[in-house]
A and B are shown apart, each in its own frame.
Chain A
């Protein structure tokens, strides 16, 4: 799919270089591949990794990961990300943030957009907001580990800059626990 590949490439460019390695290069939250968490040792023999069937009783299953379709990257969002990055380059951070806010109107659950907005606030030295926005991005990040690591690293920076040494350490620990990746 030429056009899709093009969109992916554009998106990577828009995000200031592809931050992903591996198979998934798209800057969308990849909760779509999120399954139930790995079974605990206690449950290893059980069937939790199977598709969950509706139980038919009062409390119904809701997290049927297979139902969540992988999302196409919306070209509108890509164009706004591009625009935002151009504004960042010319130090027009308010406009850069406004472009991300516009994109969030279109895709409010796109973890990448929240991450970008956090990045812009960090550049503006608005550390408290950066910290909160990165946490919001993590909420939306599903099981996208790389994005989670980036968010924790961003929070670490923001907290350090605010003089919250303990908070920064905690964030760093969370990032490390998720895996090692240079930021």
Chain B
């Protein structure tokens, strides 16, 4: 609007026709401009305020804790889960989000939460633990079969301008907060009812003269428009526009709409580079709780922060904040927004601000990285930063904590400054990734070794070779003799290559089960060459390794390089009995209001013969008993049966450990970022972390109930032959049906022996 128009009274009669013509033209063009301007303002406003006024960051959640009798969880772990989900310890558990613990008994007032498949109602739960089991769950004395705790918020994907907010709807905001806000900021807010076009014009003029506030428009509306259209320039033109916009806003929108906009827009604090906007987020930022759970004194503090959020910052200037809060309470009482005695009682309360605001950065950067990659396949970055999506992940905070502690404790004990590590924990049956650690200092953001440290897997490849053999059950069983003899092969460039055993010895003819248990390289290479590289590589692919594998004999000794998460995918197929389940870090994505958008379903595909996998897992269990992954700790202490494999690669550059129980799989990698030698073998490095972790996460034992098509036979593995149960040196081994070696009657019966003492 550069042009100014002047209204002129009628001139002399001479040439009045001409003048009238010009006045009419001028008047018309002014009208066109005013209407155009108003239209433009209206469009600007609607574009900003209606379609998508704010960018709401995607919010990333851990998996919700399922609460049911019989759950394996200690009271300590449960308490940590509650705290991660934002529950506070309090003697008074009448309000949601609070719990009380005495010994093994808990009282928990849960919050309602909208999940993908419906809303979990709020409950008042009484829980009891015994050892590592939740033994009783009741709600007002009635037994509860299953309840779901709302999940812990583990991260957000912020807009690039770093404004963070949680959307609130007006009906979710406590009435006392709104009364307080109106009393303090704009007591005449509701008095401005509808702005007539005439008064707009009048007010516009007044505004140009005053250059500041706008007549006929409420203060809240002005603050809102100012915030919405904030631009760095401080020109008269901008002020004029702001004022006009405020008027148009009053004219177009209801008080409720404006108020809701205000509640979501207003700046209420800062957390590092992140701006805290809106009362919804401010409640979490200052009190660690949702808005609807706040007490009067807490709501008053938020209202106090509307003017001068940093000046009155309650963490930095508690006294100032307290005075300002009590002023708010006094004004509220004066205005009749709250009963005076309630205001007085609230004024006697402490600020109640939590010392540390919830972190903007996820405490689990490596896991979040995996989530981001999975999201990136289906969502645009800008949508993740703006649409307020809720992402429900598979993260198990307890397992994550345990993985972090195991890695950091053991690496500290190993005392090698250059040593780095990564851990991946999954549920092999469902493919869910429960924990990811990508750095021995788990909070450090940067290189995620769990996904990006792609290193030679060494002997971790061996189970694939043995599986390829055992699937040909007519030719290979656990008792089949393999040749552990020197072998020379040449690679594509014609270079001759002669692998060695770890102990430098050749062991001659060894049963397949022992060759795997002791990780004999010569026997494995001979076996792999006999099977054919193509068959071996095909098996590796079937287990879930997608990358291309060049057909060199060196693949038989693990020249194949994978990341820890890649290894987890491969071993999970073994742990799941030959069924590949693609690993997932996300279960569901919903819109900000909870409406379902996308579900990442569990996909199961049979890729290997279950009988052969069963037999192989039996041999891998042997590795944890007497082979390279031997660990009296885990196995003997709890009687838990696990299967696993450890690896030391050339010159001790990589130390790997991978293994599983019935419901948990863990892969550990230790090594150096510069690829230098660590001086650690699989057993002295990764296995120690793995062992420590398995003790903490307590996987269920592999029970080895055989699938159909597997038969157990007492076996002389050296002969090999099946024989009688009471025969000396006979051991029970599983065979794919029909593949057991011939029966030979027992010659020497066993002396009575029931000891399961360590051997080998």
Contact = CB atoms under 8 A, between A and B. Distances in A.
B756 A56 contact: yes
Interface string A117-137: 000000000000100110110
Contact of A95 (B117, B432, B578, B726): B117
A7 to B, nearest CB: 9
B757 A56 contact: yes
A55 B715 CA distance: 11
A37 B427 contact: no
Contacts of A132: 579, 604-606
Given A54-B756, A58-B514, A139 B610 contact: yes
B438 interface: no
Contacts of A94: 599
A98 B64 CA distance: 14
A19 interface: no
Most buried by A among B66, B576, B579, B708: B708
A108 B756 contact: no
A42 interface: yes
A109 B729 contact: no
Interface stretch (B405-413, B529-537, B617-625): B617-625
Contact of A31 (B143, B604, B703, B732): B703
Interface string B42-72: 0000000000000000000000001011110
A63 B732 contact: yes
A57 interface: yes
Main secondary structure of the interface of B (DSSP, over half): loop
B733 interface: yes
B712 A36 contact: yes
A16 interface: no
Given A36-B712, A58-B760, A59-B513, A48 B725 contact: yes
B430 A148 contact: no
Contacts of B117: 95, 98-99
A57 B70 contact: no
Given A102-B66, A139-B579, A63 B717 contact: no
Contact of A59 (B71, B641, B717, B724): B717
Interface string B600-629: 011111100010000000100110011000
Given A31-B703, A62-B618, A76-B68, A52 B599 contact: no
Interface centre among A42, A95, A109 (most CB of B within 10 A): A109
Interface residues of A, number: 55
A63 B731 contact: no
Given A52-B732, A98-B116, A136-B606, A46 B753 contact: no
Interface in B705-760: 705-708, 711-712, 714, 717, 722, 724-726, 729-734, 743, 750, 753-757, 759-760
B145 A79 contact: yes
A97 interface: yes
B704 A63 contact: yes
Contacts of A142: 705, 707
Interface in B306-337: none
Interface stretch (A20-28, A67-75, A160-168): A67-75
A65 interface: yes
B1 interface: no
Interface string A12-45: 0000000000000000000100101100101100
B149 to A, nearest CB: 13
A89 interface: no
A42 B143 CA distance: 54
Contacts of B621: 62
Q: Which 7 A-B pairs have the closest CB atoms?
A: A76-B68, A108-B429, A75-B145, A76-B146, A54-B756, A31-B705, A59-B731
